[in-house]
Structure formats: structure tokens, C-alpha cells
Structure 1
Amino acid sequence: MIAIEKMTSQHVGDVIALGVGEDQRQFVGSIDDILAIVNAQIRPHVILADDHQVVGFFLIDTVYEQTNDFATPHSLGLRKFFIDKHHQGKGYAKQALHLLPDYLTATFPNHSGVFLTVNAKNDPAKNLYLKSGFQDTNTLYHGGPSGPQHVMKYKKP
């Protein structure tokens, strides 16, 4: 069973210990770099397993449309979504993405959709997003540090 929560000070120690494998670091970065961009508009969230253990992390960018011209008004940006390398392969990412629409509707009731970019070389992540209700917009974003990225969106039903 997976749950999603806003990150609080009680999660900090567990979040700092999170990481991804070397093959994924080019797409996600280090947790230190991710936490450095957190502010009042870019908000951290944790993914918790059954025992309330932090197994994953992501950011919700509430001003995503201001820095990404492909995003529509009142949309959110899903950024830096990952499951810790020690917990991958257990279905946690799929479960968290299944919970995400309802969680975002409850947490950000005025949003009209969610956008993300996924590196063109990261087929496993793209396929996971597609299976989780995101749609490929058939647009490439070229502003990322690791090359072209597919722009994907999830619209509220």
C-alpha cells in the first residue's frame, strides 16, 4: 500500500537518504540538487510504503506554466519523480502515479492538469507515464540538461 504526503520536517532525514542508480542520475539528479530548488512554488512530496517508510519523492511546480510555454493555464508540473534505488521494481511508482490525480485534486483543487517532461532516452519512465494516464503531446522540450524530452500531460477528467 502506497500513500502520498506533503514533505514535512519529519521526512527530511529519510529524504536525504534517497537516491537513484547511476544510470538514472542523468535524468533525476541528486537529492541535494533537487532539494535546492524547493521553494514556496515548487513543493516537495514523499511517497510512503506500508510502514510509512519514505520510498520515493517528487516535486509539484505550481508555477510551471510561467517557465514552460507548453503548459496550459492553471496546470501543475510534476518534476523529479523517482523511487529510491533500493525500492524499485516493487510497483511503487505505478501505485503512486495511480494515486496522483486524486491527490493533486485534493491538494491543489484549482489546477486544470499536470504536465511533465521525460527524457527521450528514458523509455521505461515514458512507458510508465503512458500506462498511468499521461498522454504524449508529441512535442519535444529542448531546454533540459540531458537532451530532448517528451512533453506529457494528464488532464483532469
Structure 2
Amino acid sequence: MTNTRLTFCNEIHEEALLAFHLPPEQEKFTAMPNEALKKCEEDPGRHPVVIEANGRTVGFFVLHKGENIGDFTANPNAMVIRALSINHPEQGKGFAKDAMLQMPQFVSDHFPEVNELILAVNFKNDLAKKLYEKVGFVDRGQIKPGPVGPQYVLHYDV
């Protein structure tokens, strides 16, 4: 059993995040942590979060709220999950599922006003879509264009 936890990103995670590796077939679907962190510096509505397991940095994502999520929803209390990835050597160990199961409580603890989580997943990224649906995200039929093709927009009521 792993001890997986979510924590806000800080300097101690930087080296591990910069060393993140994804194979090309995965990298096309997400922003790498270093790219996502740059956007977080530019947009105060973006909050970088690290997935730790047994004291190691194994994953990363961004929680994004505010006016810049209008292409996902009109709900002012929604939060978008962006750039979720698990470092390639750490994949297949259940870390993404553990993180997704912890996310509603993490968001409620740190952003009590948020009542909905939203994420987009590329049509061709079946594994990710199945994971998100398994942990309770719902496909309500919303589709948006993405950088490498259409994306399903999935919702989770907090």
C-alpha cells in the first residue's frame, strides 16, 4: 500500500518535476510540469499541486479557477484540473487513481467555495477517460476543441 498524498508545489519538488519524463504518445496530451509551472507564475488563478507517494514526487497537476476557465464552464465556483501527469517510471502503480480519489477533499479543504471540478481529456486518450469516469467524473456530452483534437469535458460535483 502506498502512502499517496496531495500537496501544493514548492521549491523542494522542483528537481523531480524538471526530471519528469513522458513518452511522446502521452506528452502530446498534456503540458509537462515545467511548462505548466510557467503558466502558474503568470496566472494567480492557477495552483500547482504535486502527487507524492512514499515521500517521492510521482505526479503533478494544476488546479485552475477564475475568469480564465470560461471555455469550460460558466460556473463561477468551478475549478479546472489541468496538466495531470504521472512521471513515466511511476505509472501503473495506482498513483493517478489515488490522487483523483483524494482530489475532491483536497479541493474542499483549500477552496471551500468550489462546488464543481472539471477536466478535459482528448478523444484519443481512452485510458485517462476511463480512469476519470471510474473515480466519479461524468461525461455530460460537452466537447471542446483541444491542441491535438477534440476533448471530452468531464464534470465532478464536489
User: Structure 2 length as normaliser, TM-score?
Assistant: 0.92
Give the secondary structure class of the aligned counterpart of 2:40: coil
Give the secondary structure class of the aligned counterpart of 1:148: strand
Q: State yes or no: 1:47 paired with 2:67.
A: no
Report matched runs for 1:99-110 at 5 Å: 99-110=102-113
Partners of 1:129 and 1:122 in 2: CA distance: 11
Q: CA RMSD in A?
A: 1.4
CA drift of 1:63 comes to 1.7
Of the three residues 129, 134, 152, the one matched with 2:137 is: 134
Q: State yes or no: 1:84 paired with 2:106.
A: no
Report matched runs for 1:85-124 at 5 Å: 85-124=88-127
Contact 1:77–1:116 (CA under 8 A) maintained in structure 2? yes
Identity %: 31
Q: Which runs of 5+ in 2 are unaligned?
A: none
**In the alignment, which residue of structure 1 is the partner of 2:5?**
3
Of the three residues 129, 135, 149, the one matched with 1:147 is: 149
Per mean C-alpha deviation after superposition, the further-off stretch among 71-80 and 25-34 is 25-34
**In the alignment, which residue of structure 2 is the partner of 1:21?**
23
CA drift of 1:84 comes to 0.5
After superposition, give the CA deviation of every residue in 1:105-155 in whole Å (9 maximum; x if it has no partner). 00111111110100011000000000011001111101x211100000110
Partners of 2:58 and 2:67 in 1: CA distance: 25
Q: Which runs of 5+ in 1 are unaligned?
A: none
Partners of 2:127 and 2:148 in 1: CA distance: 16
**In the alignment, which residue of structure 1 is the partner of 2:65?**
62
Give the secondary structure class of the aligned counterpart of 2:6: strand
Q: Which has the higher strand share?
A: 2
